Amino acid sequence: MRLKRKDFLSIAELDKSEIELALKSAESFKEVSTREIKKVPTLRGKTIINLFYESSTRTRTSFEIAAKRMSADAINISVASSSTNKGETLSDTARNLEAMSPDCIVVRHGSSGAPAMLANYLTCSVINAGDGAHEHPSQALLDMLTIKEKFGTLEGIRLLIVGDIAHSRVARSNIIGFKKLGADVLVCGPPTMIPPGIEDLGCTVVNHIEEGLGLADAIMMLRIQTERQNHTLFPSLREYAKLYGLDKKKLERAKDSVVILHPGPINRGVEISPEVADGPWSLILEQVKNGVAVRMALFYLLLGGPSVDAS
């Protein structure tokens, strides 16, 4: 099976059947990481370049591991030591990389739309590994997989996303993706971090975290994206933690079966207390594990296998 598209740029562009195909493929690739020899030959001879203009631990590493588990050659470009420092533009960098015949470039960039712009220039596949405050589509897939594994379905599941909704590409991709698969999405955060018109994506805004806690099957806590804020949007970290942070006391209001997610990196004691992050309800490391499987699936669906309709 293969997605009938060259690039993977957003959850918004996928239809329900394409998301389901990606999740199903990820479920089957998950088993490879449990083998003694964690490798399949599927993408032997393919070359994948990781081009990250922003910091990353989970996404960059899991794309690299995913490529290697599929037997592709994975090359990581450290932008800090690349010719970007000599003034080379993103499009020139990409065209020069393409001249070396990669099959796929995975790009993370601080500007919304940068991966889409590259995809227009390049004949190889482009995967969006996070662009500005726009989308982080592979993160949304791994979040969907993690919750689907827990509840068996996303249909009718209620997800509460708490934090800096305005600057979060994770929130945006997840709202769009979970809605497409029939989930109900609530968002909560300081009014300065709730963008006007967010309801147009199909979610409901709740003003106080306590309102949403008892309703949620899954709660996703977000980091404050200080790198994308021009000025401070709340009085102090202490006040933020008190009003919007999730600790064990607040968690008492939630369902017994609730699960907690966080895309990482975590600011312990700010948006989530250590006891919640490390407690039995936490699926945070399961998200990371699923990240490898989702990225293997994306490489497979874009670069491997015969081309068939996703539906």
Name which of 164, 281, 141 is nearest 222 in CA terms.
Answer: 164
* Shortest distance in whole angstroms from residue 305 CB to ligand CP: 27
> How many other CB atoms are found less than 10 A from the CB of residue 162?
26
How many angstroms separate the CA atoms of 100 and 175, rounded? Answer: 37
Nearest to ligand CP of 60, 69 (CB atom)? 60
Note the Cα 34 to chain centre separation in Å.
Answer: 22
CB burial of 268-290 (b: ≥16 within 10 Å; e: otherwise) equals eebbbbeebbeeebbbbebbbeb
* Position 264 contacts ligand CP (CB under 6 A): yes
* Shortest distance in whole angstroms from residue 55 CB to ligand CP: 6
* Position 56 contacts ligand CP (CB under 6 A): yes
> How many other CB atoms are found less than 10 A from the CB of residue 19?
22
Nearest to ligand CP of 56, 91 (CB atom)? 56
At 143 the three-state DSSP class reads helix
* Shortest distance in whole angstroms from residue 220 CB to ligand CP: 11
* Position 57 contacts ligand CP (CB under 6 A): yes
Which of 6, 58, 158, 268 is close enough to bind ligand CP by CB under 6 A? Answer: 58
* Position 168 contacts ligand CP (CB under 6 A): no
How is residue 171 written in tokens? 């929130």
* Position 207 contacts ligand CP (CB under 6 A): no
Which of 10, 59, 146, 290 is close enough to bind ligand CP by CB under 6 A? Answer: 59
Nearest to ligand CP of 106, 118 (CB atom)? 106
The structure tokens 């099957």 sit at: 217
Q: Which residues bind ligand CP (CB under 6 A)?
A: 56-59, 130, 136, 139, 263-265
